[in-house]
Chains A and B, each alone.
Chain A
Amino acid sequence: MKSTRPVTPYLFLAPALAVFGFAVLAPMLLTVGFSFTEWNGFGPMTFVGVDNYARATADAVFRDSFVHVVIYILATLVLEVALGLGLAGLLSVGRGGLWFRVAFFAPVMLPLVVVAVLWSFVYNADFGLINAGLGAIGLHDFQRVWLGDTSTALLAVSFVSGWVFAGFYMMIFYAAFRQIPNEVLEAARMDGAGEWALFRLVKVPMIRNAIAVAILLCVTGGFQGFDLFFVLTNGGPYGSTEIPTTYLVKTVFRNGDVGYGSAMAVVLTAIVLGVGFVYTRLHRPGTTA
C-alpha cells in the first residue's frame, strides 16, 4: 500500500542525518575541498589543484611516517593482540582470574595522555625508573636514552601501547573463550588434549572471528595513533617516530598549512579505508570459522 505521507520517513531520518552531516560528512567533504587549496585556516584561500597531493608524494617525511606506523602496527599486533590472546588463554584456565582481569584492564581506563606522561617519567634517561633499576642491579651498559635513541624510541612507544591495550584485547578474547561450549572442551580433554593443545587447536580456532575483528581494530587503530607519540616523542628523535597523524597535526596546527594537511588527511583516510576494505573482503564471515 502506498504511503499517504511520503515525507514522514525522512522526518524520522532527519535528526540522524543532520548529526551525520555535521559530524562526519561535512568535515570530510570540506577536508577534500581544502586539500585542493593553499590556506592557513583563516586568511584568503587559493586554489592549487593537485599540487598538495604531488607535494605529499614527494615528501620524504610523510613517506617515512607510513613506514614508522606500519612498524608500530606490527609491534602492537604482537604486544596487544597476541599478548592479549595469551593472557586470555591463561585466565580462562586458572583461578583468581577476576583480579588479573582487573589488573590487566586497568590501563585501558586511563586517558592516553596520562599514560604517556607517566611513561615519560619511566623512560626518562636521567631520572627514570628503568635506567635507575638497571643501574641498581649493576647493568649500566644496558641503560639507554630510551626515547632519544632512534633504535629504541619507536619500540618504546609501541611497548607503552601494548601495556595499555593488551588488557583490552584480553577482555575481548576472554569473553569469546567463554562462549565456547563446555561440551567441546570436555570432549577434547577426554581425547587427551592438554591445556596448551586445547588452547592452540580448539579455543583459538573457535574464536577466529573475534581475532579477525581484533586485528582489524588494531591495524586501523594503529593508523589513528597520536596521543602516545605526541606526548612521548613528538615525532623525534630525528623524525624516527613521526607518524602520519603527528606530522599532519604539526603541518596544520603548527605551520598553519591547512591545504597540505588536508591532502595528507585524505591520503591517510584513503589508505585506512583501503586496508579495512581489503581485510574485510579477505575475512568475510563464514570464510574463516
Chain B
Amino acid sequence: MRSPAKHLAALATGAVVLAAACTSAPASDNVLRIAMGSPGEAQIRVWDDVAKQFEAANPGMKVELNYQDDDLYQTIGLQNLLNGRNAPDIYFEWTGNRLAQRVKDGFAADISSKFDSGPLAGLFDDTTLDEYKIEDKIVMVPYSADVTNVLWYNKQILADAGVQPPTSWEELLAVCDTLNAAGVTPIASGNKDLWAAGNWLSHMASRVVGEDAYVSTLGGTGKFATPEWEKAFGYITELADHKCVNESANSIDDNEGAQLFFQGKAAMHPIGSWLVSWAIDEAPDLDFDYVNLPAMPDGAGNQDSVIGVQTGFVINAKSAKVDKAAEFMAMLNSDENVQKLIEAEVTPLTKSASAGQDIDSRSANLTALLNDAPAIVLPPDTGYDLEMADALYAAEAAVLGGQQTPAEALGGIDKKIGR
C-alpha cells in the first residue's frame, strides 16, 4: 500500500507537469499576433486597415492586434505576452537598452536578410537602419521617431504677457517671473509618475554635463555626485526658486498636466511630439507652437541637442511566422499606408515618408528638428536601465519640489543604485 506522502507526491508531480504544459510555447497556427501600446484612435484605424489588407492578400491567415494601455504595455504587459502561450509574432519596442535586452533574452529575430533581398528591401535608408542594429544585425523594423520633449507654448498667453518664447535659460527665468507677476502659471507639468518632468530635466542636465558624460553616467557605472551634475541640478533649483512649474506638478499625471495647458491655465508645457494630435483632438482652438529646450549657460553639451527616441516593431525570434511577419511589416510600410500613417500624425521613417503632404506643420518641424539634430539624447527610461532612470527622475522631482538640495539628491541616486 502506498503511503499518504507518496500520494501527495504524485499529486504534486501531476501539478508540476500541468504547470509546465501551461507555460510559454510559440503558437504555430495561422494567426499573426501583433502587440503594442495603444497608439490612439487614428493610428488604430490604419493598423486595422492594414490587417484587413494582409488577410485579403493571405487567405487563411488572420491578424490579431493587441492594443494595451501604454504604461501597462511598457511595464508588465509586453513581458507577460512574450512569456504567454500565444506570444506576439510582432511587437512594439523602443531602441536603446530595452531593445538590447530583448535580443539578449532571445525575443528579437535577426531580420537583416529581409532588408537585403526580402520584402523590406529598399524601404529604409541605411543610416536609419543603423539605429536598429545590435551587433551589426538588424533586429527591428523602424516605425517612427519621437521627440520626447520640447517646450510647447500658448501663443496667446505669451503675447498677452508681452514675452517671446524663451530660447535661453535667462530668458526662460525672466518669462517665468513675468508670467507669475501676471498671475499665470508659467509651466504646467504632470509629474506624478516622474517621467514627464524627468525627460525634460534630464535633457537639461545633458546640456550642462555634456552628452558624453550623460551617456557614460547613465549607461555606465560612474557616480552622479560630481560637480558637473551638481551644477546641472542647480538649474532645477533655479526653476523652483522662480516658481516656474505648477505647485501641483508632483500630484498630477501627464494627462492632467496637459489639461492645464489645453485649458489655458498654464503658458508652457514641456512634453513630447505626441502633444500635437492630442491637442488637435482635445483643444482644437488652442493656438500653440514649440521651442526646443532653451540653451543652458556654460553648458558642456551641444545646446541644439534634441531628446528623442526611435521606435519600431520587433519580429519575435521564437515566432514560427517570421517570413509572414516581415511581409506584414512591408505592407505597413508601403507608400499608400505610410501616407495614412502620416495622416494619423505618425512620423514614419521610410524613404517615402518625405513625400507626405498632409502632415501638421508642427509635426513636420519636429521631424526636421530630430533629423537635423547635431546631437540626440536618449531619454533615461527608454534608453537606459529603468532602475537608474527611476532614481534619477525621483531625484530631479525632489529638487524641483524643493525637498532636497542638488547634492543630497545626487548622493541619493548613487546610494539607491549602489554606485
Contacts and interface: CB of A to CB of B under 8 A. Distances in A.
B416 A61 contact: yes
A124 B192 contact: no
A195 interface: no
Interface stretch (A76-84, A90-98, A251-259): A251-259
Interface string A1-35: 00000110010001001100110001000000000
Contact of B403 (A40, A146, A150): A150
B201 interface: no
Interface stretch (A67-75, A185-193, A202-210, A230-238): A230-238
B251 A146 contact: yes
Interface string A253-267: 111110000000000
B75 A237 contact: no
A41 interface: yes
B159 interface: no
A147 interface: yes
B76 interface: yes
Contacts of B192: 147, 233-234, 236
Contacts of A60: 415
- For A40, A42, A127, the residue with the greatest tally of chain B CB atoms inside 10 Å of its CB is A42
A169 B121 CA distance: 66
Contacts of A113: none
A236 B12 CA distance: 43
A47 B170 CA distance: 53
Contact of A237 (B2, B76, B250): B250
B394 A239 contact: yes
A160 to B, nearest CB: 14
A147 to B, nearest CB: 4
A21 B11 CA distance: 9
Interface stretch (B221-229, B241-249, B290-298): B241-249
Contact of A40 (B14, B101, B394, B397): B101
A237 B390 contact: no
B248 A254 contact: no
B75 A254 contact: yes
B401 interface: yes
Nearest to A20: B15
Contacts of A21: 11-12, 15
A180 interface: no
Contacts of B105: 40, 42-43
Interface in B158-200: 192-194
Nearest to B77: A253
B251 A256 contact: no
A142 to B, nearest CB: 15
A233 B79 contact: no
Interface of B: 1-2, 4, 7-8, 11-12, 14-16, 18-19, 75-76, 79, 82-83, 101, 104-105, 107, 192-194, 246-252, 256, 259-260, 265, 386-387, 390, 394, 397-398, 401, 403-404, 415-416
Contacts of A126: 246, 248, 252, 256, 260, 265
Nearest to A18: B15
B15 A6 contact: no
B252 A124 contact: yes
Contacts of B259: 127
A250 B390 CA distance: 10
B180 to A, nearest CB: 16
Q: Give the bracket for the number of chain A residues in contact with chain B.
A: 35 or more
B251 A41 contact: no
A216 interface: no
B193 A234 contact: yes
Nearest to B387: A255
Contacts of A22: 15, 18-19
Contacts of B265: 126
B223 to A, nearest CB: 18
A148 interface: yes
B410 to A, nearest CB: 15
A127 B263 CA distance: 11
A124 B16 CA distance: 49
A238 B251 CA distance: 10
Contacts of A201: none
A236 B15 contact: no
Nearest to B4: A10
A148 B75 contact: no
A220 to B, nearest CB: 25
Given A126-B260, A239-B394, A10 B247 contact: no
B387 A257 contact: yes
10 contacts: A21-B11, A21-B15, A40-B101, A42-B79, A42-B105, A145-B247, A148-B250, A148-B401, A237-B251, A239-B394
B51 to A, nearest CB: 27
- For B193, B248, B404, the residue with the greatest tally of chain A CB atoms inside 10 Å of its CB is B248
A21 to B, nearest CB: 4
B386 A256 contact: yes
A7 B7 contact: yes
Interface in A140-180: 145-150, 153
Interface in A110-159: 123-127, 145-150, 153
B251 A236 contact: yes
Instruction: Report, nearest first, the 10 A-B pairs whose CB atoms are least far apart.
Output: A148-B251, A125-B248, A147-B251, A253-B76, A237-B250, A43-B105, A255-B387, A21-B15, A148-B250, A10-B7
Contact of A238 (B4, B193, B394): B394
Nearest to B412: A60
A153 B192 CA distance: 12
Interface in A238-289: 238-239, 250, 253-257
Contact of B79 (A17, A250, A256): A256
